[in-house]
Structure 1
Amino acid sequence: MKHIVGIGGVTNSGKTTLTSSLLRSLPNCCVIHQDDFFKPQDQIAVGEDGFKQWDVLESLDMEAMLSTVRAWASSPHKFARAHGVSVQPDAANTHILLLEGFLLYSYKPLVDLYSRRYFLTVPYEECKRRRSTRSYEVPDPPGLFDGHVWPMYQKYKREMEASGVEVGKRPREMRPGPGGTRNPAPPHWDHQNPGSPSSSLATSPSCFGPRRPVCSSSRTLQVGLLLTQPSAVACGLATSLLAAAP
């Protein structure tokens, strides 16, 4: 069984926190961070808004990211070993790749490769507050969030929705998975609205026995849960993934 799982969403929404928790919880799990594929600074254009265009798809080498995903799909064992991931004998046929990033669903060659897609959002005020506390290799110039970061997030989210990329609900149709197998179409998660229906998300921080997940699940997720109980959220997503194992 191979799963490619997207952890997408707005900047500073908790993507890396959730991905790190999943990486610790899931067997034979590798991760690819979209931020690792930014082009060099001298290749980032200045836009009409007056800012370096870091938050647009053209700032990323998506062909290189896609090539890395395909390398995993062609040989998960080899990819795992190359990235220091030990294959667990009792789950040797289960391989999971996490893709984490802010524009995961805007690059068409990747969209249909996902087994599951998740999209994390936070309100404008909270997102701006979190962004202001972060330090980046290239520091944010004054006005970047309001003048570039947030407008680009809104633009790409609208395009994602207009193109039919489904997040926030469980579609009925089936889609081809990696290698031509047919996996269930991905149940998605959007926690923009507190208490809205979501994928099954655990509320217990204790997750796994020797072979199968044992944690409980809930149909709703409070907005603050990801930050206060990231292990609980990861437990629920891990349960949902492993439940599909044959």
Structure 2
Amino acid sequence: MFYVLLMHLPSQYSLFFFFWFSVTNGGKTTLAKNLQKHLPNCSVISQDDFFKPESEIETDENGFLQYDVLEALNMEEMMSAISCWMENPTYSPVSTHEESIKEIPILIIEGFLLFHYKPLDTVWNRSYFLTIPYEECKRRRSTRVYKPPDAPGYFDGHVWPMYLKHKKEMENVSWEIVYLDGTKSEEDLFSQVYEDVIQELAKQKG
């Protein structure tokens, strides 16, 4: 998932936040990094960087490590990183033809359980959700190397069921979510989101 946040600050500039969410291997990290390269003053915080050590991850009745729950993450540390960025936004020399957005700091927050952490509800401007079908998700995951490696049956027994559970819970949120087709090419996804971001930033500059 990808959230977007705008905050009005005494310094007379605004902060713009995106929260990005997807199923595992949905392409959220690749898209976030691509946007960072092309948007001025853009930083990325990834939820994956805040996993607890394996020794602190619980297992379910089937012996599967429970990585797809908030308890597996140091969310307080993640919020601290977001707060630090808000206090001292990063500026970069990335050039753009869109003069109206150059001085607006942008933070992309990408992860897989962002909707489920209440403190984040107040810090976003726009959110995106990348979806891919079961077979494609399973295929992509099979090409990745994890530490620890996936146990036999882990995808079908834990990863996909947890994704469906979280996706169902997201249907009850009160804000707008932009759904993206994760089977599209990286170029098409980038173009779609980039244009949307430019339009939103232009509105904020108004």
TM over 0.5: yes
The CA deviation string for residues 155-196 of structure 1, in whole angstroms up to 9 with x for no partner, is 11222223x2534xxxxxxxxxxxxxxxxxxxx31135xxxx
> Do residues 37 (structure 1) and 46 (structure 2) align?
no
* Bigger helix share: 2
Q: Say what the alpha-carbon RMSD is for the aligned residues.
A: 2.1
Aligned amino acid, residue 166 of structure 1: W
1:55 to partner: Cα distance: 1.0
Matching of residue 241 in structure 1 with residue 195 in structure 2: no
Q: Deviations over 1:74-128 (max 9, x none)?
A: 221xxx2xxxx53669766310000011111110111221111111111111111
> Quick one: distance in 1 between partners of 2:94 and 2:153?
48
Aligned partners of 2:184 and 2:69: how far apart in 1? 29
Alignment TM-score, normalising by the size of structure 2 = 0.82
C-alpha deviation, 1:224, in angstroms: 3.6
The one-letter code sitting in structure 2 at the alignment partner of 1:59 is A
Instruction: Please give the secondary structure, in 2, of the residue aligned with 1:55.
Output: coil
Q: How does 1:135-154 map to 2 (within 5 A)?
A: 135-154=145-164
Query: CA offsets, 1:13-45, max 9 Å, x none?
Result: 110121011101111001100000000110001
| 1:105 partner SS | helix
Structure 1: which 5+ runs fail to align? Answer: 168-187, 193-222
Unaligned runs of 5+ in 2: 1-13
Q: State the AA in 1 paired with 2:154.
A: L
CA shift, 1:234, in A, is: 4.2
Distance 1:88-1:13 versus aligned 2 partners, 3 A rule: closer
Q: Secondary structure at the match of 2:18?
A: strand
* AA aligned opposite 1:134: R
Tell me what 1:86 maps to.
92
1:152-171 matches, cutoff 5 A: 152-162=162-172, 164-167=173-176
Change (3 A) 1:14 1:88: closer
- Residues paired across the two proteins, number: 188
The alignment partner of 2:20 has SS state of strand
Higher RCO (CA 8 Å, separation ≥ 6 residues):
2
> For residues 86 and 141 of structure 1, do their structure 2 counterparts lie closer, same or farther at Cα, with a shift above 3 Å needed?
same
